[in-house]
C-alpha cells in the first residue's frame, strides 16, 4: 500500500507519542517533510535544524510506518557511524518488541533476527521485514535478503564534523554514498536523506542543489538577526532561541549557531568576508582624529519584511583606516527613520552622509529637505553612483578588509548582529538580510576620493564651539529637543 503524511501522523499520535520525551504538538514542517518522503520521488533531501526532532519524525516514525503498513520489507538505515545508526535501530526495535498496542494491532509475532545492527521481524500471517543499520563508509555492497535488495534507504545525519573537516574527506564520503550506498537499493528503490548542513561543500549541501532531488532547507527562524518565521514556535519561542544564540555568542562561536540552527554554515575559504578580518578598535585608538561619515541604505516601506533601513557611522583616520563606530537598522516608518537620522546627526555630527543615487533617493530627498528646513539642521548628503551588482558594489570595502584597513567598535550593542549579517553576505547567493552590508559598503566607496590630514583636526576651542552649536540646534524655542521631544 501507499502511505501519506496523515497516516504517519496518525501512527505517531496513536502508538508512538506516549513514549516521546516531552511530547509537543506536531509542527507543520514535520507534515511537509512527511509529504515529501511519502511521494513517489526516488530521492528526497531535507536539511533541518538541530533539536527539531528530525530523527524522531523522519527516521523513527517514517521507518516504522513503512514496515508496519507493509510499504517496504527491507530498509537500510545509515548514519555517520554504525553506533549512531544502531541507536536509531534500537529505538525502533524497542517499539516492535515492547509496544503492546503495536504488537496487537499489527500482528507482530516476534524477532527471527535480533541484534543492534540487524533485525528481522515476523508477523502472524507469515509476512516479515528487515531493517539493517550501517555507518558511513562501511562495506554495504551486495546486500541481499531473500533475493531482495533494500527498497528504502533512510539517511540520518550521515555527516559529522570530522567527515567534513577537509576537502578530501568530503570527496571520499560523497564517492562512497554515490558509488556504494545508493546503488545498494533495488531498482526503483527510494532514498530519503536528512541532516544538518555542516559545510557549504558537504554532501547534503550538494544534494539540496541537485535538480534530480526533491529538497527543502529549513531554518529555526528567518536569519541570525531576524527572529520572524519561527519554524516550531510551540517548542522554540523567540526568547528560547535568543537564549540559545547567546550561548553560542558567549562561547565565541556565533557561526556555530548559524550552522546548527539556520543550516547556514560558513565556508571561510570562499567567503566574501572572513571573520578574522573584523579587527577591533583598541581602547587607545578610540580618540584618534577621524573625518566622520554615515552610510545609508533606505527601505521604501515598513511593510517590506525583506528590507530594513540601515545607518552605519564610520570615520577615516589620517592613516587611512576606516573605523566603523555605530550600527543601526530597523523596519521603521517614515517618521521613525527620519527621527533616527537626525538623532545620529546630533550624536556624531558627521561631515558626509553617503547615499546611493537612484529612484529611492530621489523619492526621499524632498521629505528630507523639508525636514531639514523645519528643524533648521542642514546635512551634507553626498550621492554615490548606483551599482546594481552587490558584489561589485562592495568591492572597495572587501579590498579594504583584505588589507586590514578596517576596524570596528566591538563594544557596540549591535556589533555581533552587525558582524553576522556581514559574514552572511555571499558573492554567489543572496543574503537574507544585506542592509548593513549596503550601508557599510557605500562608506568605503564614498571615502575613496577623500583624503584626511592631521591638520584637519579641530582645536579644543573649535570642538567646544561645534558641540555647543549642535546642542543649540537640537533645541527648539521652548527648550525641547527636536530629536527626542524632551
For 226-250, the pLDDT digits (tens) are: 899 999 999 999 999 999 999 998 8
Task: Check residue 481 and give its pLDDT.
Answer: 46
279 C-beta neighbours (distance < 10 Å), count: 15
Return the exposure string of 398-427: e unless at least 16 CB atoms fall within 10 Å of the residue's CB, then b.
bebbeeebbbbbeebebbbbbbbbbbbbbe
Which residue in 63, 87, 70, 61 sits closest to 122, CA to CA? 70
Which residue in 72, 43, 69 sits closest to 148, CA to CA? 72
Span 275-473 CATH architecture:
2-Layer Sandwich (3.30)
The three-class DSSP label of residue 337 is helix
| Sequential DSSP letters for 205-250 | HHHHH-TTSEEEE--SSSBTTB--S-S-TTT--HHHHHHHHHHHHH
Query: Residue range 139-146: average pLDDT?
Result: 87
> Is the per-residue pLDDT at 216 higher than 90?
yes
Query: Residue range 203-221: average pLDDT?
Result: 95
Task: Check residue 483 and give its pLDDT.
Answer: 43
CATH number, span 5-218: 3.40.50.300
> Is the per-residue pLDDT at 157 higher than 90?
yes
Q: What percent of the chain has pLDDT over 90?
A: 72
How are the residues of the chain apportioned to helix, strand and coil, as percentages rounded to the nearest 5? 40, 20, 40
Q: Do residues 482 and 475 touch, judged by C-beta distance below 8 A?
A: yes
Rounded to the nearest angstrom, the gap between the alpha carbon of residue 237 and the centroid of all alpha carbons in its chain is 17
pLDDT, tens digit, for every residue of 248-268?
988 878 888 989 999 988 755
Give the cell for residue 328.
543601526
Task: Check residue 476 and give its pLDDT.
Answer: 47
Task: Check residue 99 and give its pLDDT.
Answer: 95
Q: Rounded to an integer, what distance in angstroms lies between the CA atom of residue 41 and that of residue 17?
A: 28
Q: Lowest mean pLDDT of 41-50, 375-384, 418-427, name the range.
A: 418-427
> Is the per-residue pLDDT at 181 higher than 50?
yes
Q: Which residue has the higher pLDDT, 431 or 297?
A: 297
The arrangement of strands across the sheet holding 322-330 comes to: 279-280, 406-408, 322-330, 309-317, 290-297, 352-356, 381-384
pLDDT, tens digit, for every residue of 98-120?
999 999 999 999 999 999 999 99
Q: Which residue has the higher pLDDT, 386 or 458?
A: 386
Q: Which residue has the higher pLDDT, 27 or 471?
A: 27
Give the cell for residue 295.
552610510
Domains in the chain: boundaries: 5-218, 275-473
Q: Do residues 272 and 230 touch, judged by C-beta distance below 8 A?
A: no
Q: At 249, give phi and psi (nearest 5°).
A: -60, -40
Q: What percent of the chain has pLDDT over 70?
A: 90
Task: Check residue 485 and give its pLDDT.
Answer: 46
Confidence band, pLDDT 50/70/90 cuts, at residue 274: confident
Q: What angle do CA 427, 412, 380 make, to 5 degrees?
A: 75
Average per-residue pLDDT for the chain = 89
> Is the per-residue pLDDT at 478 higher than 50?
no
Task: Check residue 235 and give its pLDDT.
Answer: 93
Query: Residue range 395-411: average pLDDT?
Result: 96
Task: Check residue 433 and give its pLDDT.
Answer: 73
Q: Lowest mean pLDDT of 201-210, 301-310, 356-365, name the range.
A: 301-310
Radius of gyration of the chain (CA): 29
Rounded to the nearest angstrom, the gap between the alpha carbon of residue 380 and the centroid of all alpha carbons in its chain is 37
Q: Do residues 312 and 436 touch, judged by C-beta distance below 8 A?
A: yes
Q: At 403, give phi and psi (nearest 5°).
A: -85, 0
Task: Check residue 425 and give its pLDDT.
Answer: 84
Task: Check residue 468 and give its pLDDT.
Answer: 63
Question: What's this model's pTM, rounded to 2 decimal places?
Answer: 0.68
> Is the per-residue pLDDT at 41 higher than 60?
yes
Task: Check residue 12 and give its pLDDT.
Answer: 94
Confidence band, pLDDT 50/70/90 cuts, at residue 304: low
Amino acid at each position: 500500500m501507499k502511505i501519506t503524511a496523515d497516516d504517519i501522523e496518525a501512527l505517531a499520535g496513536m502508538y508512538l507519542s506516549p513514549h516521546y520525551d516531552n511530547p509537543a504538538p506536531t509542527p507543520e514542517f514535520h507534515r511537509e517533510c512527511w509529504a515529501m518522503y511519502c511521494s513517489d520521488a526516488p530521492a528526497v533531501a531535507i536539511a533541518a535544524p538541530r533539536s527539531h526532532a528530525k530523527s524522531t519524525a523522519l527516521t523513527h516514525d517514517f521507518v516504522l510506518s513503512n514496515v508496519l503498513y507493509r510499504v517496504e520489507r527491507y530498509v537500510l538505515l545509515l548514519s555517520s557511524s554504525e553506533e549512531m545508526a544502531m541507536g536509531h535501530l534500537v529505538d525502533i526495535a524497542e517499539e516492535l518488541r515492547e509496544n503492546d498496542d503495536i504488537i496487537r494491532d499489527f500482528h507482530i509475532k516476534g524477532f527471527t533476527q535480533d541484534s543492534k545492527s540487524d533485525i528481522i521481524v515476523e508477523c502472524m500471517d507469515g509476512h516479515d521485514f528487515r531493517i539493517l543499520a550501517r555507518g558511513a563508509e562501511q562495506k554495504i555492497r551486495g546486500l541481499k535478503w531473500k533475493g531482495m535488495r533494500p527498497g528504502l534507504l533512510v539517511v540520518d545525519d550521515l555527516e559529522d564534523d570530522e567527515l567534513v573537516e577537509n576537502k578530501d574527506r568530503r570527496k571520499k564520503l560523497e564517492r562512497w554514498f554515490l558509488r556504494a550506498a545508493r546503488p545498494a537499493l533495488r531498482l526503483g528503490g527510494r532514498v530519503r536523506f536528512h541532516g544538518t548542513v555542516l559545510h557549504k561543500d558537504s554532501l547534503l549541501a550538494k544534494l539540496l542543489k541537485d535538480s534530480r532531488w526533491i529538497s527543502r532547507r529549513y531554518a529555526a527562524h528567518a536569519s541570525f538577526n531576524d527572529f520572524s518565521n519561527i519554524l516550531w514556535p510551540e517548542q522554540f519561542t523567540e526568547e528560547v532561541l535568543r537564549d540559545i544564540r547567546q550561548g553560542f555568542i558567549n562561547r565565541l562561536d556565533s557561526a556555530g549557531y548559524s550552522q546548527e540552527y539556520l543550516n547556514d554554515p560558513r565556508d571561510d575559504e570562499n567567503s566574501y568576508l572572513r571573520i578574522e578580518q573584523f579587527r577591533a578598535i583598541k581602547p587607545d585608538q578610540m580618540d584618534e582624529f577621524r573625518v566622520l561619515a554615515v552610510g545609508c541604505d533606505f527601505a521604501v516601506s515598513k511593510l517590506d519584511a525583506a528590507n530594513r533601513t540601515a545607518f552605519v557611522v564610520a570615520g577615516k583616520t589620517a592613516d587611512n583606516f576606516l573605523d566603523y563606530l555605530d550600527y543601526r537598522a530597523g523596519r521603521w516608518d517614515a517618521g521613525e527613520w527620519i527621527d533616527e537620522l537626525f538623532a545620529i546627526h546630533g550624536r556624531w555630527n558627521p561631515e558626509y552622509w553617503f547615499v546611493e543615487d537612484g529612484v529611492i533617493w530621489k523619492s526621499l530627498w524632498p521629505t528630507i529637505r523639508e525636514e531639514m528646513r523645519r528643524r533648521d539642521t542642514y546635512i551634507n548628503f553626498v550621492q554615490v553612483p548606483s551599482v546594481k551588482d552587490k558584489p561589485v558594489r562592495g568591492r572597495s570595502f572587501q579590498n579594504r578588509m583584505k588589507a586590514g584597513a578596517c576596524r570596528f567598535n566591538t563594544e557596540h550593542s549591535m556589533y555581533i548582529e552587525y558582524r553576522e549579517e556581514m559574514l552572511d553576505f555571499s558573492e554567489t547567493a543572496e543574503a537574507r538580510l544585506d542592509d548593513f552590508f549596503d550601508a557599510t559598503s557605500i562608506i568605503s566607496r564614498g571615502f575613496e576620493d577623500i583624503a584626511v590630514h592631521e591638520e584637519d583636526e579641530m582645536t579644543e576651542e573649535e570642538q567646544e564651539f561645534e558641540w555647543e552649536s549642535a546642542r543649540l540646534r537640537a533645541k527648539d524655542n521652548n527648550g525641547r529637543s527636536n530629536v527626542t521631544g524632551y
